[in-house]
Chain A
């Protein structure tokens, strides 16, 4: 078979393989920069790095339309970027600047961009699944064929609210794609130690079609998502995709200092060996890959600069946006 990496260069604007690689590279680079900015204390509060799981965000979003929506998790930057949010404004949000996606009010765990269909990252495990289901149902009710896609971790499948959402979505044939990112862990706990039965079995109980997908392969994820999205658009109801991957980095950046021991260096090295960046990189011409890498690096340089240059919000505006009507809350002192 011909080696795709030695072929003529491909344009990510028109070549799907190159486009997928670009998203994976963007998310990987973004996470690395964000971790650096946490260490430099530009990003307060820390982040949950998505490194190793990029193929899931890239593959799923490649199968969605711009007018479809997603809900995300505490580990959400990858989803937000893959759905099309501006990396510079996303980074500015992590840095708590007024130029951020949420004007510095949400930060890493709540990054949202309604303009590109991101209904918000959510810091309560499992909480966004019924939210996505409700949005999807509303689309159907309005007569459109838009779909919603909800990301959640393997830890979330033990949340009652997730299973209750499965029931509603299946019962009412809601156009929803359920994406369980099984990265092997819920903080320190292994999936096998927290999930009785299986993740697919939970979907089966509600009559929801489900399959396991290699979540390190962007194209496998994209193809599986495309099928699920087609079913949803056609009125076939929800589908569950369990995307398996390995979390390369810490659960959260506090782990860089606290270092709880729950996995060995050998295990991490073995997990890192299946790298979505390499898997997708091997599918495109080397020159294309180099060009994309350079373009992404420059984009991220600009994003970091934009984030650092953004103004800090004025403390007097701390509760702006608390009420949609503009109602002002009473201050804590008078």
Chain B
């Protein structure tokens, strides 16, 4: 079977959705030559009316996409770096997200914001290494973090078809992942439905994005001694709370691994909800970036701020030991 890379899966999802629906169009910097590869070939295939290179005007083209959406289009915006979300936060959180409610349901804003390369790219330093998905979940914007090529395809396709604004974070740590896949098997994946990558009975590890692969590796390392269930929420808002509850019914123990800052990060929300509403037989644990982390440039410092397999393994062992 052909190997499909994560980046190619994103590229294929955009192309397929543009084929399916004339209203889908793409905005972004250097999307014509596809510097991130996610938009490769699209300009040639669909022309400059549907694939537009924008000036470096993120605030403007993000609001512009909202307007185009109000007028019936379904824009996808590609951002080259995750920190640009801080520039356009107003346009997404205060405009696109609020339109439907503030107009009493008169309109909708079907815009997709795609971040191919979120999180650390190793030594891209302070302003290029953020992974700000928790912020969007906090304001209630639909927030998606696929871990595998098939999910990247399926979730991006769904995001484009969704009638609300959706931010899709493609972690740089996942872009190189490849999967044996029959292209015909690529289908949309619903938002709000988690995926169990490996079942287990002792502890549930909730892993976000590229950390799913680390969680699977740790589960394998511990296979002889601890039975680890790896739960990938796939979308952080909406979150598959019933899927998590079902998993905790089986295991009763919870560890969350999440590459965002600890305070007010999604990991805290997952643990709080589990503590309030679900079956827990041991204190839950989380592995995250430190509070307020700004990733330093030097490679060893950059890595020191991100969750590691060793930390996850220790947290799993603690969670199990405490049971």
**A residues whose Cβ falls under 8 Å from a Cβ of B:** 44-45, 93, 96-97, 102, 104-110, 122-126, 155-156, 158-160, 186-189, 193-195, 258, 260-262, 312-319, 322, 329-333
- Chain B residues in 8 Å Cβ range of A44: 122-123, 297-299
* Shortest distance between the CB of A105 and any CB in chain B (Å): 4
Give the CA-CA distance A107 to B302 in the complex, in Å.
Answer: 11
Cβ-neighbour of A105 out of B32, B56, B296, B303 (below 8 A): B296
Cβ-neighbour of B298 out of A107, A122, A322 (below 8 A): A107
> Given A96-B299, A189-B53, A332-B289, does the pair A106, B125 have CB atoms closer than 8 Å?
yes
**7 smallest beta-carbon distances between A and B, as pairs:** A107-B297, A45-B123, A96-B298, A44-B123, A315-B304, A158-B55, A318-B304
> Given A104-B301, A262-B33, does the pair A123, B125 have CB atoms closer than 8 Å?
yes
* Shortest distance between the CB of B183 and any CB in chain A (Å): 25
Check if B29 is an interface residue, CB within 8 A of chain A.
yes
- Pick out which of these stretches binds chain A: B16-24, B214-222, B235-243, B307-315: B307-315
B128–A109 touching, CB < 8 Å: yes
B56–A104 touching, CB < 8 Å: no
Give the CA-CA distance A143 to B51 in the complex, in Å.
Answer: 52
List 11 interface pairs A-B (beta carbons < 8 Å), by A numbering.
A45-B297, A107-B123, A109-B127, A123-B126, A158-B57, A187-B35, A189-B53, A318-B301, A318-B305, A319-B294, A332-B288
- Chain B residues in 8 Å Cβ range of A260: 30, 33-35
Cβ-neighbour of A159 out of B56, B293, B296 (below 8 A): B56
B56–A155 touching, CB < 8 Å: yes
- Chain B residues in 8 Å Cβ range of A108: 125, 297
A104–B297 touching, CB < 8 Å: yes
Cβ-neighbour of A96 out of B84, B123, B304, B315 (below 8 A): B123
- Chain A residues in 8 Å Cβ range of B290: 318-319, 329-332
Give the CA-CA distance A70 to B57 in the complex, in Å.
Answer: 24
A105–B298 touching, CB < 8 Å: yes
Give the CA-CA distance A316 to B293 in the complex, in Å.
Answer: 13
Give the CA-CA distance A45 to B123 in the complex, in Å.
Answer: 5
Given contacts A106-B297, A315-B300, 6 further A-B contacts (CB under 8 A): A104-B301, A123-B127, A186-B56, A189-B32, A313-B298, A330-B291
Check if B89 is an interface residue, CB within 8 A of chain A.
no
> Given A188-B33, A260-B35, does the pair A195, B55 have CB atoms closer than 8 Å?
yes
- Of A93, A122, A319, most B-chain CB atoms within 10 Å: A319
A317–B301 touching, CB < 8 Å: yes
> Given A124-B83, A260-B35, A261-B33, does the pair A160, B57 have CB atoms closer than 8 Å?
yes
Query: How many contacts between A and B, using CB within 8 angstroms?
Result: 158
Cβ-neighbour of B307 out of A258, A261, A322, A333 (below 8 A): A333
- Of B121, B289, B297, B303, most A-chain CB atoms within 10 Å: B297
- Chain A residues in 8 Å Cβ range of B287: 332-333
Interface of B is mostly: loop
> Given A105-B296, A193-B53, A260-B34, does the pair A123, B301 have CB atoms closer than 8 Å?
no
B210-262, CB < 8 A from A: 261-262
- Chain A residues in 8 Å Cβ range of B60: 158, 160
- Chain A residues in 8 Å Cβ range of B123: 44-45, 96, 107
Give the CA-CA distance A317 to B121 in the complex, in Å.
Answer: 20
- Chain A residues in 8 Å Cβ range of B314: 333
Q: Which residue of chain B has the shortest Cβ distance to A153 in the bound complex?
A: B56
Check if B59 is an interface residue, CB within 8 A of chain A.
yes
Check if B46 is an interface residue, CB within 8 A of chain A.
no
B57–A333 touching, CB < 8 Å: no
A332–B125 touching, CB < 8 Å: no
Check if B263 is an interface residue, CB within 8 A of chain A.
yes
Give the CA-CA distance A261 to B261 in the complex, in Å.
Answer: 38
- Chain B residues in 8 Å Cβ range of A315: 300-301, 303-304
Check if B322 is an interface residue, CB within 8 A of chain A.
no
> Given A189-B29, A332-B262, A332-B288, does the pair A102, B297 have CB atoms closer than 8 Å?
yes
Give the CA-CA distance A123 to B82 in the complex, in Å.
Answer: 12
A107–B125 touching, CB < 8 Å: yes
- Chain A residues in 8 Å Cβ range of B59: 160
- Chain A residues in 8 Å Cβ range of B299: 44, 96, 312
Q: Which residue of chain A has the shortest Cβ distance to B307 in the bound complex?
A: A332
Q: Which residue of chain B has the shortest Cβ distance to A331 in the bound complex?
A: B290
Give the CA-CA distance A312 to B123 in the complex, in Å.
Answer: 13
Check if B99 is an interface residue, CB within 8 A of chain A.
no
> Given A124-B87, A260-B33, A322-B294, does the pair A316, B122 have CB atoms closer than 8 Å?
no
- Chain B residues in 8 Å Cβ range of A107: 123, 125, 297-298
B296–A332 touching, CB < 8 Å: no
- Chain B residues in 8 Å Cβ range of A123: 83, 125-128
- Chain B residues in 8 Å Cβ range of A106: 125-126, 297
* Shortest distance between the CB of A69 and any CB in chain B (Å): 20
A156–B35 touching, CB < 8 Å: no
